[in-house]
Amino acid sequence: MKAARRARLRRAAIHFIFCFLFCALLTSGAVCQETTLHSQSNVVVIPALVKSAQGEVVYGLGAKDFVVEDDGEEQAVHLDEAAEGQPVSMVIAIQRGRRADYEFPRMRGLSAMLDPLVAEGRGSVAIVEFDSQVQTAQEFTASSEKIAWTLKGLQPGDGGAAILDAVEYSVKMLENTPRDRQRVLLVISETRDHGSAAKVEDVVAEIGQSRTAVYALAFSPSRSNVLDTMRGNNLNEMNPSPDLLAPLLMAAQAMRKNMPKTVAAMTGGEYEMFATGKNFDLRMIDFSNHLHSRYLLSIEPKNPHAGLHRLKVRLRNAGDRIVLARESYWAAGAK
């Protein structure tokens, strides 16, 4: 009994000494009041793409070349050197409502463009389709066959184009993917939202809290209508006389808010328009090339205030080079 008691006392003493030393190291001499440790990470990850004035990707930069300001205050910048090989989780949100089905033939090359991503084993893709409602057409998969089959099976939708709802839905899907993966949302839609129920401020908060980069390939229904009329591809929509309203619709549309462009800018993604199958393929080639060409920057603000923070990312010696990076983030505990 005495031997057992002495053994227990020795174990208790060793445990006490270990806790004391461990707390002393953590607090640099402060009193350790409890052995339960709590930590909070304030790391903000900022994927950044650098392009020349000619649109070419700029490589070979280091952390010292970047300036990141959080609400106007410059931060210490870190650069993840392994970002190029980071696996990717991607959601493709495709509009099928309104006049989007006329764009389907121009997207024929989409599945082929995605083949290298999944074939290399570095990516998984999910497909979301939307009109006035949003739904998952294909869960995350690394199967080129499943992706091609789903894209081929897209059907026309109703009269809605709930772009904001689709963005919110897709970002939530990506938030459930492993944190070590690059999260990318590709939105293929028209420029205007029609019928979303989500609140803009809620989606802004969710995007700000996410590490998702949004890319947008947009089409103009009115411009597409004009081009299809010239090609004779929409005989069921043609009027007996020329559609004189189309140019007016195009002008009116240009004055309205461009939803996918705004969301892409917020996350540091890219926004492009397409009007033909060739345009679409070229945009997709750029998108694929840029996917693994981003610098993975990060900052660690000390005690950031709750809520929206404005980010500004630039080069110390920019010259004619531009940086595409997220413009804001939401600190923990705010929405």
H-type alpha helices, 59-159: 110-119, 144-152
Residue partners of 32: CB distance under 8 A and separation at least 6: 19, 20, 22, 23, 24, 26
pLDDT confidence tier of residue 240, bands split at 50, 70 and 90: very low
Going from the C-alpha of 77 to that of each of 53, 216, 313, 314, 327, the distances in angstroms are 24, 28, 10, 12, 16
Q: Is 309 helix (H, G, I), strand (E, B) or coil?
A: strand
What's the alpha-carbon Rg for the chain, to the nearest Å? Answer: 25
The two three-digit tokens of residue 87, written as one number: 């696996």
Which tens digit of pLDDT belongs to each residue from 68-98? 999 899 999 999 865 556 789 999 999 999 9
Going from the C-alpha of 41 to that of each of 23, 169, 211, 212, the distances in angstroms are 19, 26, 14, 18
How many Cα neighbours within 13 Å face the side chain of 311?
Answer: 33
Angstrom distance (rounded) from CA 265 to CA 260:
9
**Dihedral (CA of 232, 233, 236, 242) sign:** negative
Q: Which of 89, 154, 102 is nearest to 128 (CA)?
A: 154
Going from the C-alpha of 220 to that of each of 159, 226, 277, the distances in angstroms are 15, 10, 14
Whole-number pLDDT of residue 196:
92
Which tens digit of pLDDT belongs to each residue from 95-138? 999 999 999 998 988 988 888 888 777 789 999 999 999 999 99
Which tens digit of pLDDT belongs to each residue from 190-228? 998 999 998 877 887 788 788 888 899 999 875 554 444
| Burial class of residue 146, CB neighbours in 10 A (0-12, 13-18, 19+) | middle
29 vs 314, higher pLDDT: 314
Of 11-15, 123-127, 180-184, 306-310, highest mean pLDDT: 123-127
Q: Is 293 helix (H, G, I), strand (E, B) or coil?
A: coil
Residue partners of 70: CB distance under 8 A and separation at least 6: 44, 299, 301, 304, 309, 310, 311
User: What is the percent of the chain where pLDDT is above 90?
Assistant: 40
pTM, entire model: 0.73
Whole-number pLDDT of residue 155:
95
Angstrom distance (rounded) from CA 263 to CA 270:
9
**Dihedral (CA of 187, 188, 190, 191) sign:** positive
Angstrom distance (rounded) from CA 83 to CA 74:
23
Whole-number pLDDT of residue 248:
37
Q: How far apart are the first and last CA of the chain?
A: 60
Angstrom distance (rounded) from CA 274 to CA 107:
10
155 vs 3, higher pLDDT: 155
Whole-number pLDDT of residue 3:
52
7 vs 328, higher pLDDT: 328
The residue to which tokens 């993840």 are assigned: 80
The two three-digit tokens of residue 78, written as one number: 């870190």
Which tens digit of pLDDT belongs to each residue from 26-68? 334 433 333 333 334 578 888 899 999 988 999 999 999 999 9
- Decide if 83 contacts 294 (C-beta within 8 A): yes
25 vs 86, higher pLDDT: 86
- Decide if 299 contacts 77 (C-beta within 8 A): yes
- Decide if 268 contacts 49 (C-beta within 8 A): yes
